[in-house]
Chains A and B, each alone.
Chain A
């Protein structure tokens, strides 16, 4: 039973355009959401996060939107650059039961930005 779902395994975007990566979650106890970026043969690196008390967080070219009623978040990258090509993981954490403090990850979306 996947609690964090990234339904698009891959996404291809032209350089300079917007990349939109989507993530859905099922557990209403999640209150902190993060996006990680992973290059081949490297560990995931933190990109941006958002608390459930907000609906938007922006950091340079990266913006994360949270829609709590729909249990949906998205990562927008504008403008997309070839160096953004990587696998992007959505992760969620919540204060519930014995899993407090654990990040639950989605399966990832592979973004390819074409020059």
Chain B
């Protein structure tokens, strides 16, 4: 069974540029999460989807961050414009049910110069 797939693995951009991350969850997993992990910290939730509905986006900085999961499968997280403080690892995870065991992708390491 394929795991959670994320791309790209690494991204280097200049500040004020846009950037997008893509995630393909485990087949059949209706719950999808985007987490942010800063160096030396644990993952912090950005947004949670149940199918195509964003059921918790309270921690998503909506002035520059956006996300979508149009068909309830793949998801895209976008930052526009990127700031220096956005440099971090962006993790996607999926679960067969809310609050259940999460399966994480390898993450996207973003560096904003």
Q: Which residues of A contact B48 (CB under 8 A)?
A: 101-102
A111 contacts partner chain B, Cβ-Cβ < 8 Å: no
**In chain A between 49 and 72, which residues have their CB closer than 8 angstroms to a CB of chain B?**
49
A99 touches B103 (CB 8 A): no
B91 touches A101 (CB 8 A): no
Smallest beta-carbon distance A42→chain B, Å: 6
A89 touches B42 (CB 8 A): yes
A34 touches B106 (CB 8 A): no
Smallest beta-carbon distance A66→chain B, Å: 16
B21 contacts partner chain A, Cβ-Cβ < 8 Å: no
B31 contacts partner chain A, Cβ-Cβ < 8 Å: yes
A44 touches B43 (CB 8 A): yes
B104 touches A103 (CB 8 A): no
Which of these, A34, A42, A104, contacts B101 with CB under 8 Å?
A: A34
Scoring A34, A41, A44, A105 by chain B CB atoms within 10 A of each residue's CB, the highest score goes to A44
Q: Which residues of B contact A6 (CB under 8 A)?
A: 42
B105 contacts partner chain A, Cβ-Cβ < 8 Å: yes
CA distance A16 to B25 in the complex (A): 37
Interface string of B90-113 (1 = CB under 8 A from A): 010100011101111111010000
Smallest beta-carbon distance A32→chain B, Å: 6
Q: Which residues of A contact B107 (CB under 8 A)?
A: 42-43
B58 contacts partner chain A, Cβ-Cβ < 8 Å: yes
Interface string of A72-102 (1 = CB under 8 A from B): 0000000000000000010101110011111
27 contacts between A and B (CB under 8 A): A4-B42, A41-B109, A42-B106, A42-B107, A43-B104, A43-B105, A43-B107, A46-B101, A46-B103, A91-B42, A94-B99, A98-B58, A99-B56, A100-B98, A100-B99, A101-B48, A101-B55, A101-B97, A101-B98, A102-B33, A102-B99, A103-B33, A103-B99, A103-B102, A104-B45, A107-B42, A108-B42
